[in-house]
Structure 1
Amino acid sequence: MANKPTALKTLADLKQVQHTLAETRAREAAAAAARAAAEQKRLAERDLFSRAIGATQPLRRPAAVPLSPEPPAPIPVQHQLDEQRVLRESLSDEFDVTTLLDVDDAMSFRRPGISTEITRKLRAGEWSIQRQLDLHGMRSDEARDALGNFIRTAHKHGMRCVRVVHGKGLGSPGKQPVLKTKTQRWLIQKNEVLAFVQAKPAEGGAGALVVLLAPVGR
């Protein structure tokens, strides 16, 4: 009879241990179930788009050839040089203008078919001067090229009346108006020039010419 209480206490302890183990297993099973459910949900969300649209096939990429960028347009250097050479050759320093100039109270030039009324109006300032070129300080070849380019560009843009300042030649050796004479020769050789007159005193006088250009297309 002395050992009976000890046996009862041991049995109670055993049951408590069994109960504790059962609770632990239940918690572990619940945690495992929760993890499985979370993984299943993650997989379902990942495949949601695929299930929604069904089976797919990759798009075929069309054949393409890589194109090189278009090279910049070449600079027409040779063409520019040819134009300059033709310009120099077309304006002769030896051209005789003495029979073409009207030497009255003020020197003037007019092509055949251009009336003296035109040169009178030029001299009177009835044509508005639209552009001016100053040849002061240029060498002969520089002045020739500059004048040719100036007349060609002004005519191309539809200008009718321009002024060319060549100076009076007072600073030249022997005080001879070399550039003045050459400018007259060059202008007469330009087909765009219809007439020119000596500028009025207030606009350059003997050191400048007022030039009338032909209309565009003529």
Structure 2
Amino acid sequence: MPKKDSVVDEDEISLFQAAMSDVEPLPASDKIVIGGIETSPFPRKNKGQKNAKSEDALTDYVFVAIEAGDGWSFVRPGMSHQTLRRLRRGHWRIQDSLDLHGYTRDAARQALGAFLDICVQQKFRCVRVIHGKGLSSRNREPVLKARVGNWLMQRSDVLAFCQPRPEDGGGGAILILLKSKV
């Protein structure tokens, strides 16, 4: 296969930039469009429907990519990014912690769901989950980090999460801001 000239690459780049010049980002939304049908990312519960076990509701099929580096975060659509800044800076005191070192994926999912259920019942606002840095794993990469983030995004009672300061766990942990139940 012949290699392209750098001139062609520059032409392609300028053509792309010209084509994208009037494109505006979409507004943040909590809706997902599948095949032209707008749907909520999580099913709504009927008023008479009992709470399902949270560990059964969390799935590995919702995926969020973690970019290079450990400083990743999530804030629920509609929430202010100021909330995320306050969480990152330690505005809320860590009220409880869960250590997932040594857990399998399924055991970690169940433990996380049960832990968050208890924290919500006890009206905790800020909790920490220690997922580890992956130093003992096969590729020396964190095994549970992305999964924990994916599971947290699926819970409606999680408003935001971020990597804590180094003294609170750094890249091996995650701070979670929960909804305040009034």
TM-score band w.r.t. shorter chain: 0.5 to 0.7
Q: What TM-score, normalized to structure 1?
A: 0.56
Alpha-carbon distance between aligned partners in 1 of 2:112 and 2:91, rounded to the nearest angstrom: 23
Alpha-carbon distance between aligned partners in 2 of 1:102 and 1:139, rounded to the nearest angstrom: 23
Alpha-carbon distance between aligned partners in 1 of 2:156 and 2:95, rounded to the nearest angstrom: 19
Going from structure 1 to structure 2, the CA distance change for 1:105 and 1:209 (only over 3 Å counts) comes to: closer
Alpha-carbon distance between aligned partners in 2 of 1:112 and 1:141, rounded to the nearest angstrom: 28
CA contact (8 A) 2:64 2:146 kept: no
Picking from 139, 146, 156, the partner of 1:191 is 156
**3-state secondary structure, aligned to 1:174:** coil
Aligned twin of 1:203: 168
**3-state secondary structure, aligned to 2:59:** coil
Return the structure number with greater helix share. 1
Picking from 78, 96, 105, the partner of 2:63 is 96
Going from structure 1 to structure 2, the CA distance change for 1:211 and 1:102 (only over 3 Å counts) comes to: farther
Tell me the CA shift for residue 191 of structure 1.
Answer: 1.2
Aligned twin of 1:25: none
Q: Which structure is higher in RCO with an 8 Å CA cutoff and minimum separation 6?
A: 2
Q: Does 1:130 align with 2:100?
A: no
Alpha-carbon distance between aligned partners in 1 of 2:78 and 2:68, rounded to the nearest angstrom: 18
The structure with more radius of gyration: 1
CA contact (8 A) 1:123 1:200 kept: yes
Aligned twin of 1:142: 107
Tell me the CA shift for residue 106 of structure 1.
Answer: 2.2
Alignment of 1:1-218 (within 5 A): 86-98=53-65, 106-216=71-181
Going from structure 1 to structure 2, the CA distance change for 1:212 and 1:102 (only over 3 Å counts) comes to: farther
RMSD over equivalenced CA pairs, Å: 2.4
Tell me the CA shift for residue 149 of structure 1.
Answer: 0.4
Query: Would you say how many aligned residue pairs link Structure 1 and Structure 2?
Result: 133
Alpha-carbon distance between aligned partners in 2 of 1:195 and 1:103, rounded to the nearest angstrom: 20
Matched to 1:160, the amino acid is: R
Q: Deviations over 1:93-117 (max 9, x none)?
A: 121223xx79998211000111110
Misfit runs of 4+, over 3 Å = 86-89, 101-105
Q: What TM-score, normalized to structure 2?
A: 0.67
**3-state secondary structure, aligned to 2:144:** helix
Alpha-carbon distance between aligned partners in 1 of 2:67 and 2:155, rounded to the nearest angstrom: 18
Matched to 2:103, the amino acid is: M
